[in-house]
Amino acid sequence: MPIMHRSHRQHRGKHAAAPQPLLPLSMVEAGQTVELVSIGECRRLRKRLADLGLNVGLNVRVVQNSFAGPLILAVREDARLAIGRGMAQRILVRLPLSTNGHEE
Amino acid sequence: MTTPQIVALAGNPNVGKSTLFNALTGARQHVGNWPGKTVEKVEGLITIGDRQYKVVDLPGTYSLNAYSSEEIIARDFIINEHPAAVVTVVDAANLERTLYLAVQIMELGVPAVLALNMADMAQRRGIRVNTALLAERLGGLPIVETIGSRGAGLNALRQAIYTQTNGTGRTLPQPVDYGQPLEAEIAALQAQIAADPILSRQFRPRWLATKLLENDEDLHARLEGAGYHPLIEAAHAAMERIAAQTGEDAETLITDRRYQMIAKWLRGAVQRPRSGVETRSDRADRVVTHPIWGVPIFLLLMWVIFQFTANVSAPLVDWIDATINGPFTRWAEALLNALSLAETWFGALVINGVIAGVGGVLVFIPVLFFLYLAVAVLEDSGYMARSAFVMDRVMRAIGLHGKSFLPLVVGFGCNVPAIYATRTLEDEDDRKLTAFITTFISCGARLPVYVVFGAAFFGAKAGNLIFGLYLLGIAIALLTGLALKRTVYRHKPPQPFVLELPPYRLPTPRNVWRQVWQRTAQFLRNATTIILAASIVIWFMLALPVRGEGRFNDVRTEDSLFGAVSRTIAPAFEPAGFASWETAGSLITGFVAKEAVISTMSQIYVQTADDAEVAGAEESQPAPRFADEAQELLRSLGEALVLTAQETVNIVPRTVNLLPGVHLGLADWLNRGEEAEETTALQDALIAAFTRTTGSAERGKLAAVAFNVFVLLYVPCMATVAAMRHEFGGRWVLYQSSYALLVAWLAATIVYQGGLLLGIG
Ligand SMILES: Nc1nc2c(ncn2[C@@H]2O[C@H](COP(=O)(O)OP(=O)(O)O)[C@@H](O)[C@H]2O)c(=O)[nH]1
Ligand SMILES: [Mg+2]
Read off the pLDDT of each residue in A12-35 and give the average, rounded to a whole number: 76
pLDDT score of B448: 79
pLDDT score of B459: 78
- The average confidence (pLDDT) of chain B is 85
CA B143 to chain centre: 35
Q: Which of B282-296, B345-359, B736-750 has the lowest mean pLDDT?
A: B345-359
Say how many Å lie between the CA of residue B428 and the centre of ligand 1.
Answer: 24
Q: Residue B196, by phi and psi: left (phi above 0), alpha (psi -120 to 50) or beta?
A: beta
Q: In chain A, pLDDT over 90 holds for what percent of residues?
A: 15
Answer yes or no: is pLDDT of B755 > 90: yes
pLDDT score of B479: 93
Locate the ligand 1 atom nearest the alpha carbon of residue B507 and give its number: 23
Reference B122, options B249, B209, B16, B223; nearest CA is B16
Highest mean pLDDT among B30-39, B130-139, B423-432, B620-629: B130-139
pLDDT score of B37: 56
Compute chain B's Rg from CA coordinates. Answer: 31
Span B721-732, pLDDT tens digits: 988 988 888 999
The answer to whether the Cα torsion of A53, A54, A59, A65 is positive or negative is: positive
pLDDT score of B590: 87
A9 inside 8 A of chain B by CB = yes
Say how many Å lie between the CA of residue B340 and the centre of ligand 2.
Answer: 52
Contacts of B13 in chain A (CB under 8 A): none
Contacts of B342 (CB under 8 A, 6+ apart): B333, B336, B616, B617
pLDDT score of B102: 92
**A 16-45 residues inside an 8 A Cβ radius of B:** 33, 43-45
To the nearest 10°, report the CA torsion of A16, A19, A22, A26. -170
**Calpha distance B686→B698 (Å, rounded):** 13
Read off the pLDDT of each residue in B16-28 and give the average, rounded to a whole number: 85
B248 inside 8 A of chain A by CB = yes
B245 inside 8 A of chain A by CB = no
Contacts of B27 (CB under 8 A, 6+ apart): none
Which of A5, A12, A43 is the closest to B260 by Cβ? A5
Predicted structure pTM score? 0.80
Read off the pLDDT of each residue in B404-417 and give the average, rounded to a whole number: 83
Please give the residue of chain A at the shortest CA–CA distance from B94. A78
Q: Do B259 and A64 touch (CB under 8 A)?
A: no
Read off the pLDDT of each residue in A71-86 and give the average, rounded to a whole number: 86
Burial group, residue B665, by CB count within 10 angstroms (0-12, 13-18, 19+) = exposed
Q: Do A51 and B266 touch (CB under 8 A)?
A: no
- What is the assigned CATH class of domain A2-8+26-94? mainly beta
Q: What is the DSSP letter of B552?
A: T
Q: Do A50 and B267 touch (CB under 8 A)?
A: no
pLDDT score of B463: 79
pLDDT band with cut points at 50, 70 and 90 for residue A7:
very low
**Paired strand residues for A38:** A92
**Calpha distance A51→B616 (Å, rounded):** 68
A83 inside 8 A of chain B by CB = yes
What residues line ligand 1, using a CB cutoff of 6 Å? Answer: B 11, 13-19, 60, 117-118, 120-121, 147-149, 380, 505, 507-508, 511
Interface test with A, best of B64, B501, B505 (most A CBs within 10 A): B501
Read off the pLDDT of each residue in B305-319 and give the average, rounded to a whole number: 84
Whether the CB-CB separation of B6 and B54 falls below 8 Å is answered with yes
Q: What's the complex ipTM? A: 0.79
Answer yes or no: is pLDDT of A101 > 70: no
Answer yes or no: is pLDDT of B589 > 90: no
Contacts of A2 in chain B (CB under 8 A): 275
Q: In chain B, pLDDT over 90 holds for what percent of residues?
A: 24
pLDDT score of A14: 45
Substitution candidate for ligand 1 out of B17, B149, B280, B423 with most atoms within 8 A of CB: B149
pLDDT band with cut points at 50, 70 and 90 for residue B742:
very high
Contacts of A57 in chain B (CB under 8 A): 256
Read off the pLDDT of each residue in B461-490 and give the average, rounded to a whole number: 87
**B 89-108 residues inside an 8 A Cβ radius of A:** 93-94, 96-97, 100
Reference B317, options B372, B362, B270, B348; nearest CA is B362
Residue B44: which H helix or E strand, with range? Answer: strand B40-48
pLDDT score of B32: 67
CATH number for the domain whose boundaries are B182-271: 1.10.287
CATH superfamily, domain B5-164, is P-loop containing nucleotide triphosphate hydrolases (3.40.50.300)
Which of B249, B392, B498 is the closest to A52 by Cβ? B498
Whether the CB-CB separation of B426 and B396 falls below 8 Å is answered with no
pLDDT score of B618: 43
Burial group, residue B690, by CB count within 10 angstroms (0-12, 13-18, 19+) = buried
Contacts of B503 in chain A (CB under 8 A): 78, 80
Q: What separation in angstroms does the CA of A91 have from each of A85, A86, B243, B441, B515?
A: 10, 9, 22, 39, 39
Span B384-407, pLDDT tens digits: 888 878 887 778 777 787 778 878
Nearest Cα of chain A lies from the Cα of B752 at a distance, in angstroms, of: 44
Q: What separation in angstroms does the CA of B228 have from each of A48, B51, B220, B399?
A: 26, 40, 9, 39
Degrees to nearest 5, angle at CA A95 with A93 and A100: 145
Q: Residue B709, by phi and psi: left (phi above 0), alpha (psi -120 to 50) or beta?
A: alpha
Whether the CB-CB separation of B59 and B70 falls below 8 Å is answered with yes
Contacts of A7 in chain B (CB under 8 A): 256, 260
Highest mean pLDDT among B18-27, B384-393, B563-572, B609-618: B563-572
**Calpha distance B194→B181 (Å, rounded):** 20
Locate the ligand 1 atom nearest the alpha carbon of residue B505 and give its number: 23
Read off the pLDDT of each residue in B562-581 and give the average, rounded to a whole number: 92
Residue owning the nearest CA to atom 22 of ligand 1 = B380
